[in-house]
Chains A and B, each alone.
Chain A
Amino acid sequence: MVDPEVTVNGKRTAIGAVPVHTTALDWLRGQGLTSCKEGCAEGECGACAILVARPGVESPTDLVAINACLAPVGSLDGQEVWTAEGLGSTEDLHPVQHEMAVRGGSQCGYCTPGFVCSMAAEYYRGDRDAAGDDHAPNGFDIHALSGNLCRCTGYRPIRDAAHALGAPPASDPLAQRRACSAPEPVATQLHGDGRDYLRPATWTEALQLRHDRPNATFVAGSTDWGVEVNIRGVRADCVVAIDRVPELQMLDIGAETIEIGAGLSLTEMDRRLDGRVPLLSQLIPQFASRLIRNAATLGGNLGTGSPIGDSAPVLLALGASVVLSSVDGDREVLLDEYFTGYRQSVRRDDELIRSVRIPLPLAGTTAFHKVAKRRFDDISSVAVAFALDIEDGLVRTAQIGLGGVAATPIRAQDTEAALVGQSWNEETVRAAAEILRGEGTPMDDHRASAAYRAATLGRSLLKLHADSLEGARA
């Protein structure tokens, strides 16, 4: 095994002897690459955004932006990354840098390199249609910047810079880089201070590690773990990263189920599903930020078992199940029966989440309602996912998943019962909404009051109904 190394701005660099909890952010800064900034150390501000090469969807390589503050430096082993320093020179600014500079996109400049990286990733996105549409003259999806905060500009010049970008010219080195294959995930072993960071090469090895190292922390994306490390000072004796394991990168659309590998990033999942599951398509733009979604996985989101993770309510509404694996084999558990308590589940200590299965056919009427203070990149006060089959004005089936109203994500079973078999009309909906208000045991906290959580829960069904009428009229 070669010593861990990473290609930074085109230069192969040994990771060297660093504590295994070192973040990519701190490591890059230690290399003198100070464009990578710490603003929050929890993946909320994007000042640390960098570009990484990943296996592409339309071309061999995609350049995606991630939060360097959440990525353990070990996760960069064998990878290829770029910081703002690597995109252009003072004499020859990168097109993204040029537009940001001349339009007043930087004021204090501290968030700027992170914006540049997020914007560059979108600039190079293969399926961006530079011809544009009504929302973006150049096909630039402004959600690409939803994980970057700026406190100075008010964003208008940043948006204008994004919208001024053309297509990368053929001579552009990074555009050319996309045509070559991405670095393969490599097996990694980083040791220091008696601690380990490990990345197994195969699923079999991962399961063996799970069996052999019961105290190890397994991560698939590290976006939650990074917060534990940075904010709460948690240090694990052993961290095992499984998200890039090839077996977890699968996505299979069958006749009876759609199976999604637990290690697929949410961005990759969304692009490969290509709208096949409308409820997931609705979820994705509201799930954290692009920077997070480029790293976070379904396996990770379900594995942490947070009651406010946004994927669980959606998967509950879809009637999904989880495939759990151990050295002894696989078992499939309905997500409905998976969570047992606050951040607890039926998953045994020797098991890992392998994939998520969504049964087909999908319900016809679906919606994801997220109640939060901010429209982009906020944690839900309440999340509600609906999947209803309505035929000839009658509710045939109803599955409703809720987040933020109990110690675990839950199904709104009483509400479902009140809907099934009833006419899809104002009267049914009002009665069911009253029941929905009372589902779960919402709390008062800094995000929202219990009363607001309950009230918006009830009203979410009214909204679903109102929207379905509007849709029918349209």
Chain B
Amino acid sequence: MSALSERPESPSIGIARPHEAAAAHVRGTALYTDDLVARTKDVLHAYPVQVNEAHAKVLAIRTESAEAVPGVVRVLTAADVPGVNDSGVHHDEPLFPSEVMFFGHAVAWVLGETLEAARLGAAAVEVDTEALPSLVTVGEAIAAGSFQGEPRVVARGDVDPAMAGSAHVFRGEFDFAGQEHFYLETQCALAHVDESDQIFVQSSTQHPSETQDIVAHVLGKHSHEVTVQSLRMGGGFGGKEWQPHGYAAVAALGATLTGRPVRLRLTRTQDMTMTGKRHGFHAEWSVGFDSDGKLQALDVVLTADGGWSLDLSEPVLARALCHVDNAYWIPHVRAMGRIAKTNKTSQTAFRGFGGPQGMLVIEDILGRCAPMLGIDPTELRRRNFYSEGQDTPYGMPVRHPERIHRIWQQLLDSGDAERRQAEIAAYNAKHPHSKRGLAITPVKFGISFNLTAFNQAGALVHVYKDGSVLINHGGTEMGQGLHTKMLQVAATALGVPPEKVRLAPTRTDKVPNTSATAASSGADLNGGAVKNACEQIRDRLLPVAAGKLGVPESDVRIVRGAARTPSGEELGWDELVHAAYFDRVHLSAAGYYRTEGLSWDSATMSGTPFKYFAYGAALAEVEVDDFTGAYRTRRVDIVHDVGDSLSPLIDIGQIEGGFVQGMGWLTLEDLRWDESDRPSRGRLATQAASTYKLPSLSEMPEVFNVTLLTDAAEEGAVYGSKAVGEPPLMLAFAVREALRQAVAAFGEPGHSVDLASPATPEAVFWAIDRAVTAAPVVEAQVPDLVGQA
């Protein structure tokens, strides 16, 4: 056991606790950024001037008629920016652009006394444009050679000869959609300027430090003149890692120019038409198997649809390339990745951050190839799992590969897969219009930011004279339960009951230079920092306790709210703290943590970018009808590896929620962009909750069993736990593969089933149509399959 992973006596971690704000959530008294408006005087409201063209040059922006609208206070344009007119760090995202890069791009902002005034003002702003040619689909971008950022290759071995020597070679293409975050709380910022010209921005942001950076550079100020606070978010999912900065900057700019607080909150449709989403990808692949169905070679080109600017597309692509192996050993790999530049929103971080896209490609390959290899997909997957001593294609040893085997077998047993498979066969034989399918898929997901520098965190812990504890850390709370876990970590490290500990909102003036709360790393990084700060204080308290109790320091433990000796003497926490204060002991500490052992060369795409892998698997059963292609998820069983859980209720919530969100991406959520040549070209047609459907209660698996893997301590993370935010999203592949099985059951055996993604009822309907009308399988015609219907 490492010092980092070792659990002390009577820890507060590992105990199921509700979310630390649950009581406030259910009463509606937990505040989000926009809730502060009702408590703030003289607030101005900001409203965007969106241009409805896919691509155009801005010739002129005339604001006179807008300024004449009663209640309009000011129109913000590029001329108002005192610093850098850019909302990102690549300098390719002008905050007030001179070129409209996507349908709905905001070119100016109107400040009004009321939202209604600002809205009417925005409608009155006249924007002259000159249309430019546009690229809307990734296919159009590929054809036009429109790319951005650096292409990257993850390579190992000798792909061409390995492919040539493979017993079975298949080729295919796969175009799959992105996903809207649809955090329930849209992007929001509230900015004001205090008496010393300090800018204070409350922002619904996962990355307060970068929001601070961007606000500062837009305003031409230093970071110490800007403070950003993230109270809590109504969901983030990656959509508030990069996207909030520009909106915070507009609010801050408005506040500095008017001297009044400025609130900027996007409506749902503004949010959907202006902010980035999960990247859709195009994949083109060749794969070679030996005669036993073992993967020999994979040659794949991934093209991420990056949208109009780079944003986080490069690291997203890197993670996709690093996850195209998922849980499988592939001796020879060439995975090339590139980023298409299209006239769409700038696609961005979204739970999994490219990992899901890379993994979807290999799972789709296995699902499509299994029938042609004549191997059951469950067996095909198992046969290709990593084993001890093998490395990923980017040269990182796969530690604990036995866990994936263990999870797989545990799940097949607990999910009663064999018996149910027989029941499904019997059901399918009896029901011409309804078929069931069962599938199991694995997850192996690398934990840490690919970029090594981001793997650091800070915390600030105060113990007050009365014994109460206040924690600040650099992580943000978006519902994932980070604060709950940090509270448990602090209580454990100090040896006090969790009731002694309070969390303060995340602020850049408490903990500076923080990384985004992203990459599932929030608990690992901030937990390390909180633990470090608490242990500094604990180590200062131990001598005080030893003195009071009259024993050597090495005999004192602080546990369950008291310093204790082996002989049973104790000194209560409050008393100890009080004594320490009068002994002039420093009761505050800044904690710091960085993940050891990481290395990454982004040019050669090799190294050890991850501290460890999180593992899991899901077993899903669906039922499909051939009248409409509609389906139900009858049952899902999951076994997932969260290490030794810090907080089981929180972790199970992350697994279930991630799974359903992944199901949404793969089956239901349908981003439709206007690809026609009409004036509405480039418009997002599904831009509201009425047209973009998220999973509702009706999509929840009817039976839903989630089990945490036991005996799963992770040496390299705080108290032996593992990250949980992203990996469970990819468990949802099981539903897609179960749909493929059910669709196949409508046709003759041995056919490969192509399934579009998302596999909406319509997509499933057409897949059934193809399965039913497919010609009988002739062995000699099998080798190639090309194209995705």
Contacts and interface: CB of A to CB of B under 8 A. Distances in A.
A47 B184 contact: yes
Contacts of B650: 104
B771 to A, nearest CB: 15
Given A37-B234, A373-B670, A456-B628, A159 B27 contact: no
A110 B698 contact: no
B194 interface: no
Given A47-B184, A110-B235, A459-B628, A159 B26 contact: no
Contacts of B696: 146, 148-149, 155, 374-377
A463 B699 CA distance: 22
A381 B123 CA distance: 32
Contacts of B23: 90, 93, 97, 101
Given A34-B35, A84-B26, A151-B237, A446 B670 contact: yes
A16 B713 CA distance: 60
A108 B185 CA distance: 9
Given A37-B184, A44-B688, A156 B28 contact: no
B410 interface: no
Given A47-B184, A108-B479, A375 B268 contact: no
Contacts of A44: 688-690
Contacts of A148: 696-697
A381 B657 CA distance: 28
Interface in A1-52: 19, 29-30, 32-42, 44-45, 47
Contact of B185 (A29, A37, A375): A37
Given A154-B657, A463-B627, A145 B27 contact: no
Interface string B31-75: 110110011000000000000000000000000000000000000
Nearest to B36: A34
A193 to B, nearest CB: 9
Interface in A257-312: none
B761 interface: yes
A87 B688 contact: no
Contact of B697 (A104, A146, A449): A146
Given A154-B660, A446-B685, A447-B691, A375 B21 contact: no
Contact of A34 (B28, B232, B672): B28
Interface stretch (A111-119, A165-173, A408-416): A111-119
A107 B19 contact: yes
A151 B184 contact: yes
A157 B480 CA distance: 15
Interface string B472-494: 00000011110000000000000
A112 B26 contact: yes
A326 interface: no
Contacts of B658: 154
Nearest to A288: B690
Contacts of B24: 90, 109
Given A39-B689, A374-B698, A466-B433, A107 B479 contact: yes
A33 B31 CA distance: 11
A448 interface: yes
B268 A40 contact: yes
Given A83-B28, A109-B232, A110-B235, A40 B689 contact: yes
A40 B478 CA distance: 19
A153 interface: yes
Nearest to B433: A466
B554 interface: no
Contacts of B116: 19
A373 B628 CA distance: 10
Given A159-B700, A449-B762, A108 B26 contact: no
A97 B27 contact: yes
Contacts of A35: 27-29
B520 interface: no
A456 B28 contact: no
Nearest to B234: A110
Contacts of B398: none
A101 B762 contact: no
Main secondary structure of the interface of A (DSSP, over half): loop
B766 interface: yes
Interface in A130-150: 142, 145-146, 148-150
A233 B232 CA distance: 30
A289 to B, nearest CB: 9
Interface residues of A, number: 86
A153 B26 contact: no
A149 B688 CA distance: 13
Interface in B166-206: 181-185
Contact of B26 (A19, A37, A116, A447): A116
Nearest to A96: B26
Given A30-B38, A154-B659, A452-B766, A106 B234 contact: no
B22 A149 contact: no
A321 B629 CA distance: 34
A39 B657 contact: no
A153 B656 contact: yes
B22 A106 contact: yes
Contacts of A466: 433
Interface centre among B661, B688, B697 (most CB of A within 10 A): B697
Interface string A446-470: 1111001001100110110010000
Interface in A40-77: 40-42, 44-45, 47
Contact of B27 (A85, A111, A369): A85
A394 interface: no
B697 A155 contact: yes
B269 A231 contact: yes
B211 interface: no
A429 to B, nearest CB: 13
Contact of A93 (B26, B433, B661, B690): B26
Nearest to A100: B26
B77 interface: no
B18 interface: yes
Contacts of B30: 109
B433 A463 contact: yes
B540 interface: no
Contacts of B25: 100-101, 106, 109, 112-113
Nearest to A111: B184
B148 interface: no
B28 A101 contact: no
Contact of A155 (B38, B119, B689, B700): B700
A358 to B, nearest CB: 27
A88 B27 contact: yes
A41 B765 contact: no
A89 B656 CA distance: 29
A116 B686 CA distance: 28
Interface centre among B183, B700, B766 (most CB of A within 10 A): B700
B668 interface: yes
Contacts of A149: 184, 689, 694, 696
A436 interface: no
A111 B25 CA distance: 9
B427 interface: no
Contacts of B27: 35, 84-85, 87-90, 93, 97, 113
A346 interface: no
A49 to B, nearest CB: 11
A379 interface: yes
B760 interface: yes
Contact of A40 (B657, B672, B688, B760): B688
12 contacts: A32-B39, A37-B32, A44-B690, A84-B26, A104-B650, A112-B26, A113-B28, A151-B183, A153-B653, A154-B704, A381-B762, A459-B626
Q: A-B pairs with the 9 shortest C-beta distances?
A: A35-B28, A108-B479, A110-B234, A109-B25, A154-B660, A44-B689, A113-B28, A107-B479, A97-B26
Given A39-B185, A154-B661, A155-B695, 18 more contacts: A35-B28, A35-B29, A44-B690, A97-B23, A101-B19, A101-B22, A109-B232, A111-B234, A113-B26, A151-B661, A153-B653, A153-B660, A155-B700, A373-B761, A375-B698, A448-B762, A452-B765, A456-B627
